[in-house]
Amino acid sequence: MSEEKTKQQYTDIEKEQIFDKEFLPHISSMYNFAYRLTFDEDDAKDLVQETYLKAYRFLNSFQQGTNAKAWLFRILKNSFINDFRKKSKQPSKVDYQEVEAFYNSESVDVSMTTDLRVETVQHMIGDEVSSALNALAVDFRTVIILCDLEGFTYEEMAKILDIPIGTVRSRLHRARNLLKEKLQAYAKSMGYNK
Amino acid sequence: MATNLLDWLRQSFSGQNDCEKCLELLELIMDGEASPEEEKLFHKHIDACLPCYETYNLEASIKKLLQTKLKRKQVPDDLIQKIRSKIRSTA
Ligand SMILES: [Zn+2]
């Protein structure tokens, strides 16, 4: 089979079938992703709705049987960046600083010193994890959601985020270290360690 | 010769290189992205190296924490209906 990017010509019935069978089953993942990006139920709804409308509009460029979930996540992430981040009132200055500092030191550092203990982690509850994750800059939060919560492969993440796999890996590594710092700070404040 | 011997000593006794390699592989292993050969190498190392084994356990426990403790939000009841009617009105 050749890899030509010919557009499909789906009939209306086919369109509805693809939409129902391949797109809608991912709505829960999409909504949760949107909520973790926007922290607002109405914004999350709008973002998911916008994503599905775009997906329907561009359905002819979707190849049936390919990875619908990754395709939808890519649309959602682009909608968030292009349309949403601008509108949103939440300040993103801090985000950019943190992210930029990271891009300037792309190398994967291997040293990870922490006195966080497994037993401490195991006793944490949902709200604690949630606030640690939410405290991360959006780019770092995103890779953790895609990898750990949604189970995307590095290759899928690279496509969703439009970045090379090497960048996926280093961003994920950095994100995990930052999350660990947040969890550790939390553990310390609760007197879990020592 | 002397440098070869030194390399050999370093690799077999200090384990420094192995630990570095191991930590590099850690996330690949955890995310299911490592090759079978890398997995073998990794497990062989952590079977013998306690610090790396502990690091791995910690990383894995955090991943598990995210997967099991984070609450998922229920999709609003009217969302699918809204999407469908929006599509119908614009198609
Ligand atoms: Zn080691």
- Determine the distance in angstroms separating the CA of B16 from the nearest CA of chain A, rounded to an integer: 12
The verdict on A163 touching B (C-beta cutoff 8 Å) is no
The verdict on A76 touching B (C-beta cutoff 8 Å) is no
How far is it between the farthest Cα atoms of chain B?
79
pTM to 2 decimal places = 0.84
In one letter, which amino acid is A96?
Y
Are A142 and A171 a contacting pair, CB within 8 Å?
no
Domain chopping of chain B, boundaries: 3-90
The verdict on A70 touching B (C-beta cutoff 8 Å) is no
Residue A107 DSSP class:
S
Contact B23 A56 (CB under 8 A): no
Question: Which of B62, B74, B79, B89 would you mutate first to test chain A, the one with the most A CBs within 10 A?
Answer: B62
Q: What is the CA radius of gyration of chain A?
A: 19
In the block, residue with structure tokens 């002819």: A60
CA nearest to A119, candidates B65, B73, B3, B91: B65
Mean pLDDT on A19-36: 97
Domains plus CATH for chain A?
A: 1-90 (1.10.1740.10), 110-194 (1.10.10.10)
The verdict on B24 touching A (C-beta cutoff 8 Å) is yes
Please state at what angle helix A27-38 crosses helix B79-90, rounded to 10 degrees.
Answer: 100
Contact B90 A129 (CB under 8 A): no
Q: Complex ipTM, two decimals?
A: 0.82
Q: How high is the mean pLDDT of chain A? A: 86
Taking only the tens of pLDDT, chain B with its 91 residues reads 455 665 655 455 445 678 999 999 999 999 999 999 999 999 999 999 999 999 999 999 999 999 999 999 999 999 999 999 999 887 6
CA nearest to A43, candidates A54, A31, A59: A31
Nearest Cβ partner for A179 among B20, B62, B79:
B62
A121 pLDDT above the threshold of 50 = yes
CA nearest to A138, candidates A90, A183, A184: A90
CA nearest to A10, candidates A46, A42, A52, A57: A57
A71 pLDDT above the threshold of 70 = yes
pLDDT in tens, A81-92: 987 776 655 544
Q: What is the CA radius of gyration of chain B?
A: 24
